[in-house]
Chain A
């Protein structure tokens, strides 16, 4: 009899889990996925990109998995652990041998007067950006020129703010802490990000508390009042103060929960046939709220099930757990942080910490090195260094003898190119024909008075032609009559 796996939730982690499991090619497994959103599985991370208006639902939709019973718009309402059955909101029953909870996390709305209606639902001009429906809501509400206030200057808030700005809105971010992104980034990095955001037309107000929401007689949003009595006028509020794992289903089924559904290293709940992965799961590392760790959990569970059900497995994946690279996804504002920094850089045996801040240049780079590899890094405002550090961190590449070399890198071509006249005699001028400067000098000395004449003797310029200008300059400087120079733009050259 086939092994029945039911997955509750069809977000990015659930989708990945199904893909991972299918890759094991297990026979006799039936897979049912219950997604409560009306859309097929889609990439939530790209939601901010929907706001400027080019990305449609098809651009977010993840590949359908053949042979999988994936149901959209079906919400699981109860788990009967005794009968091994999940019930849905249409009364359907889904028997399982293994259950995987991937219910994700829900946005948190602050408890402030004026955000919710009498039924406790967010007012029409208050929304999160967590679902396709939210994105559609924002697009409809925030036309070009609309004033939008984003509550929360964390990753999701800043990403939403930058996308709204790209969509033409006037955006203000209201943040509780002293600097944006302060959950993951150090304060200096946060300040550099804030300055960079200001350059892009996104205002970030820090150390703010909201006193209240002010509305007009018709309940339309007027402004957000801060505790220092500042008022920020707004047409729309986007809430991004955080998320909380969706654990109601698990809690009602009396699985062990704390902030999230408690799981072990194999993402098993206290019921060994029920797993939890992604944002709803609480591992030994807590609830990370990032897709990377969620995908790693999806892989671990798929591998475990392949062993358990199939009695066989493909080689264990070689990539370890996701080490946690946090990357701001905002066009034009580059910020990434990874690993950890010591609390005390001067402490005995502490990793070596190096860094600099360049406030005017909107740059901040900081790294921590231990045992010859990168153990922490933060980079704001330097996309190339950010990418290099990420790759070095992920690959555990040994760092250079002086790790300071990782902090900045001269851009190719940034140094003024040496004039061909200053190059040493043995420098190769024409690579295609391996012609050194001295050979060109000798040709000119021997009477060659133009580029074609030098070419005739040395073959310089007759390959790709990229050195034609250099050879021309040499001929000129070495004394040929300028009238004899021929610079062939087309690059055609033929020996008669």
Chain B
């Protein structure tokens, strides 16, 4: 029996994994984040280890166009040979890398290093760009540092009020909900979400307030609530004077957002705005409250102005005097298992390990020193994910792509054209443990270990480092990704060796992060095995780590938080007669991300087997759509198909679709690739669409990855 953590979300629930004659089983463990609880994904996590369709041999696409098993030697030689050819003919930038927020810290670090040193390409980014980039940019802009929750999750327990902006943890990380109990009991849970989600339902019976703005207007709603705080004298002025800068500019930016104007833009009644403002203020320390938190999720962030929306939430928290105080604060709820660590160790196009900026000469010199290469040999910043994927197989763009821990043909926005570009690549290599929809397009598929079959660390949503030890032996024939990179680096005559030992890689990561913002210097696998609770930064060996950042000062040059004024930007997609409805996207409880894992677990897939579109019964009635009927969902990008599901928790002008499904059911065939100008994050959370009954307008769909034959 091995104590480890769940393979899915950033809550990283603790569990034991034990081999039994019927295969491995999972038992929940007491741990501060999950408290001995698990959702259905967690309980069935071991099923992923034995999922059908597990890849156990490398596959190479032959002349007949089909993937056929080959030896590792042959597969790696083929990849290395092709890479060598492309690099020689078109330069190192002809190769691109796409990573994922599910990779361990060791893998994320090593992949970044592999790209910069073995491939010498700037073209590396990861799917965290689809989920965390705006929160990261907003946090850095205000506090000089981005750690999802700059406090332990259990701090939420004592809060009197918690504002959740665009987050649905009751479905995305169910055990998290126990940490909302105190606020609910105090009537202080405030949920901002266009849908009445299961999380919004927690505000019923006196639990708090649910504000349901028009999609894409969260920013304006936050401006409005902040303006009310000032207008009603509820701001913590003493805190602002001591700990923040930019008050005057912030106030000026709020002056034009009086409540009735906010109501007109957002659809949230003035009375609700005022109630939310008063409730949050009453909980703030300045007014004698027990403490309050402002938390953002993807609903706030996945917009073409997501960074500004995060900033508006941060500004609200600052006006209430919450961040940097024990028992209060601002945080973002990281989504992917290692969404936090993934964005710290060099998977991002513009970053080096330790959350360093790749264009900073000191950062380059330090990291190059640890790697044993010349700083001048390191490439500069590459394009962020959406731009990177858009450049594939275009003139001057990358001709080869290596994919690790991601399934972009399901998870990226506007997947129709992306699929074509992946097909047009000269070389697509996918490392995965099942034949994901992206792997199915690949020229070479490399079967790798997953979760409980390898050792590595994850940094959870609190910035706490967790060890996931190998709990079960991997199937015959699969290799770790660390091994794959070592082998490829050798074949590419890389200037340095790449270790395949996770502890060794971690020790190097710690040195590379030393002196950076996300400083792991004092962390080690050994300390984790000894049971220490370690939160970064940990700037020296023996340092206890930092459960709460910002208590004394923010990580800005002058130690003050920055109130950065922001203003309204409407969604990129506007309503018109042709596309009269808003589409919002999100998750269901039983699935995770692109569904590559969870759709292969029978217990999960039988509950949510296919894509659906949720709409209000009155909208369904107007469209003549019956519950259970298949409808077409059309946008300016493309079309998808889903089963109609009726819910009175929907706005009349908004429909919802989950994003876990491939093929015709893939909502990302219609989503908008417009990106945030600061973070490069796409507007996955709002698009305008038209719904049509399929019997009225039978649509011919181009075949797509994941379509049943």
Mark A residues whose CB is within 8 Å of B.
12, 42-43, 45-46, 49, 53-55, 58-64, 318, 325, 327, 329, 331-332, 334, 383-384, 386-388, 390-392, 394-401, 405, 410, 412-413, 431-434, 459, 462-466, 490-495
Contact at A492–B30, with CB atoms within 8 Å?
Answer: yes
Q: Are A386 and B269 CB-contacts (below 8 A) given A397-B653, A434-B40? A: yes
Q: Are B175 and A464 in contact (CB under 8 A)?
A: yes
Residue B425 interfacial (CB < 8 Å): no
Q: A327-B263, A390-B263 are in contact. Are A397 and B652 (CB under 8 A)?
A: yes
The proximity string for B residues 647-660 relative to A, scoring 1 for CB distances below 8 Å and 0 otherwise, is 01100110000000
Instruction: Give the secondary structure class of A's interface.
Output: loop
The 4 lowest CB-CB distance pairs between A and B, nearest first, are A54-B233, A383-B269, A464-B177, A494-B36
* Chain A residues within 8 Å of B175, by CB: 463-464
Residues of A within 8 A of B198 (CB): 431
Cross-chain contact of A412 among B171, B210, B622 (Cβ < 8 A) = B210
Q: Which residues of B contact A334 (CB under 8 A)?
A: 269-271
Residue of B nearest to A462 (CB): B37
Given A401-B621, A494-B30, A495-B28: A412 touches B267 (CB 8 Å cut-off): no
Point out the residues of chain A lying under 8 angstroms from B527, CB to CB: none
Q: Which of B270-294 contact A (CB under 8 A)?
A: 270-272, 274
Is B164 at the interface (CB under 8 A from chain A)? no
> Which of A12, A62, A387 contacts B252 (CB under 8 A)?
A62
Q: Which of A55, A62, A396, A405 interacts with B256 by CB under 8 Å? A: A62
Task: Flag if A466 contacts B202 (CB, 8 Å).
Answer: yes
Known: A432-B39, A495-B27. A400 touches B255 (CB 8 A): no
Residues on the A chain within 8 Å of B649, using CB: 412
How many angstroms between the C-alpha atoms of A10 and B145 in the bound complex? 40
Chain B 609-648, CB within 8 Å of chain A: the 1/0 string?
A: 0000000001101100000000000000000000000001
Q: CB distance A391 to B37 under 8 Å?
A: no
- A12 vs B257: C-alpha distance when bound (angstroms): 12
Query: With a CB–CB cut-off of 8 A, which chain B residues contact A43?
Result: 255-256, 258
In the bound complex, do residue B272 and residue A383 qualify as a contact, i.e. CB atoms below 8 Å apart?
yes
**CA A434 to CA B591, docked complex, whole Å:** 12
Min Cβ gap A488→B in Å is: 10
Shortest CB-to-CB span from B581 to chain A, Å, is 8
Given contact pairs A49-B231, A400-B621, A459-B43, a sample of 7 additional A-B residue pairs in the complex whose CB atoms are under 8 Å apart: A46-B255, A61-B251, A64-B252, A390-B264, A434-B603, A491-B35, A491-B181
Contact B258 A493 (CB under 8 A): no
Q: Which of B37, B204, B271 contacts A493 (CB 8 A)?
A: B37
| Min distance, Cβ A296 to any Cβ of chain B, angstroms | 13
What chain A residues lie within 8 Å of B589 (beta carbons)?
Answer: 431-432, 434
Bound together, the chains give a CA A84 to CA B181 distance in angstroms of 68
* In the assembled complex, B253 has its CB within 8 A of some CB on chain A: yes
* CB pair B580 A400 closer than 8 Å: no
B205 within 8 A of A: yes
A54-B231, A58-B248 are known contacts. Are A491 and B653 too (CB-CB below 8 A)?
A: no
Interface flag for B397 (CB, 8 Å): no
Residues of A within 8 A of B248 (CB): 58
- A327 with B260: CB separation less than 8 A: yes
Whether B689 is near chain A, meaning CB under 8 Å from some CB there, is: no
Instruction: Find out whether the CB atom of A400 lies under 8 angstroms from the CB atom of B263.
Output: no
A434 to B264, alpha carbons, bound, how many Å? 39
A54 CA / B196 CA spacing, docked (Å): 34
Distance of A68 Cα from B214 Cα, bound (Å): 35
> Which residues on A sit within 8 Å (CB–CB) of B255?
42-43, 46, 59-63
Query: What CA separation (Å) do A431 and B259 show in the bound complex?
Result: 37
Evaluate contact between B37 and A329: CB separation under 8 angstroms: no
Q: What CA separation (Å) do A383 and B38 show in the bound complex? A: 40
Q: Hey, which chain B residues are within 8 Å of A412, CB to CB?
A: 196, 204, 210, 649
A404 to chain B, nearest CB (A): 11
Cβ contact within 8 Å between A395 and B30? no
Interface residue tally for chain B (C-beta within 8 Å):
68
Q: Closest A residue to B27 by CB, please name it.
A: A495
- A462–B230 contact, CB under 8 A? no
Show the binding face of B for A, using Cβ within 8 Å: 27-30, 35-40, 43, 170-171, 174-178, 181, 196, 198, 202, 204-205, 210, 214, 230-234, 248-249, 251-256, 258-260, 263-264, 267-272, 274, 565, 574-575, 577, 580, 589-590, 603, 607, 618-619, 621-622, 648-649, 652-653
Most chain B CB inside 10 Å of its own CB: which residue of A391, A398, A491: A391
Q: Would A463 and B29 count as touching, CB distance under 8 A?
A: no
List the B side residues contacting A64 at CB < 8 Å: 252
Chain B residue at minimum C-beta to C-beta distance from A63: B252
A49 to B274, CA, bound (A): 13
Nearest CB in chain B: distance from A158 CB, A: 13
Name the residue of chain A whose CB is nearest to the CB of B16.
Answer: A495
CB < 8 Å neighbour of B270 from A63, A383, A396: A383
Expressed in whole angstroms, the Cα–Cα distance for A319 and B522 within the complex equals 56
Given the complex, which residues of A lie within 8 Å of B38, measured CB to CB? 459, 462-463
- When the two chains form their complex, are residues B39 and A46 in contact, meaning their CB atoms are under 8 A apart? no
Report how far A396 CA is from B164 CA in the complex, Å: 30
Bound CA–CA A466/B232 (angstroms): 35
Complex interface: chain B residues within 8 A of A413 (CB) = 204-205
Q: How far is the CB of B423 from chain A (nearest CB, A)?
A: 34
Contacts of A62 in B (CB 8 A): 252, 255-256
Alpha-carbon gap, A50 to B37, bound state (A): 51
Does B269 contact A384, Cβ atoms closer than 8 Å?
yes
Q: How far is the CB of B567 from chain A (nearest CB, A)?
A: 9
Report the bound CA distance from A224 to B391 in whole Å: 76
A398 contact from B178, B253, B580, Cβ within 8 A = B580
Within the assembled complex, what's the spacing in Å between the Cα atoms of A240 and B575?
39
Measured CB to CB, the nearest residue on chain A to B268 is A387
* In-complex Cβ contact of A465 among B27, B37, B204, B622 (8 A): B37
24 A-B contact pairs sorted by A residue (CB < 8 Å): A12-B256, A45-B258, A46-B255, A55-B231, A59-B255, A61-B252, A63-B255, A325-B264, A329-B260, A334-B269, A334-B271, A386-B263, A386-B269, A391-B264, A397-B580, A400-B618, A413-B204, A431-B174, A431-B198, A464-B37, A464-B176, A491-B35, A493-B37, A494-B36
Query: Which chain A residues border B35 with CB–CB below 8 Å?
Result: 490-493
Residues of B contacting A53 with CB < 8 Å?
A: 233
Quote the shortest CB–CB distance from A396 to chain B (angstroms).
Answer: 8
A400-B619 CB under 8 A given contacts A334-B271, A387-B263, A412-B196: yes
Smallest CB–CB gap between A25 and chain B, Å?
A: 15
Which of A387, A432, A493 is B174 in contact with, Cβ under 8 Å? A432
CA gap between A334 and B29 in the complex, in Å:
52
Once bound together, how far apart are the Cα atoms of A410 and B29, in whole Å? 42
**Chain A residue with the shortest CB-CB distance to B217:** A391
Contact A491 B607 (CB under 8 A): no
Residues of A within 8 A of B202 (CB): 466
Q: A55-B231, A392-B652, A466-B202 are in contact. Are A434 and B178 (CB under 8 A)?
A: no
Shortest Cβ distance from A345 into chain B, in angstroms? Answer: 23
In contact, A59 and B231 (Cβ under 8 angstroms): yes
Instruction: Give the residues in chain B near A58, CB-CB below 8 Å.
Output: 248, 251
Question: CB-nearest residue of chain A relative to B176?
Answer: A464
Report yes or no: B230 in contact with A55, Cβ–Cβ below 8 A.
Answer: yes
Collect the chain A residues with CB atoms within 8 Å of residue B210's CB.
412
Residue from the set B252, B575, B622 with the largest chain A CB neighbour count within 10 Å:
B252
Residue of B nearest to A386 (CB): B269
Residues of B within 8 A of A42 (CB): 255
Write out the residue numbers on chain A whose beta carbons fall within 8 Å of the beta carbon of B232: 54
> What's the least CB distance linking B195 to chain A, in Å?
12
> Which residues of chain A have C-beta atoms less than 8 A from B39's C-beta?
432-433, 463-464
Q: Which residues of B contact A398 (CB under 8 A)?
A: 580, 622
**In whole angstroms, what is the CA distance A58 to B332 when docked?**
30
A464 close to B590 (CB less than 8 A): no
Report the separation of the CA atoms of residues A391 and B233 in the bound assembly, to the nearest whole angstrom.
Answer: 29
Contact of B178 among A46, A383, A465, A494 (CB under 8 A): A465
Q: Which residues of A contact B264 (CB under 8 A)?
A: 325, 327, 390-391, 394
The smallest beta-carbon distance between B125 and chain A, in angstroms, is 30
B634 → A minimal CB distance (Å): 16
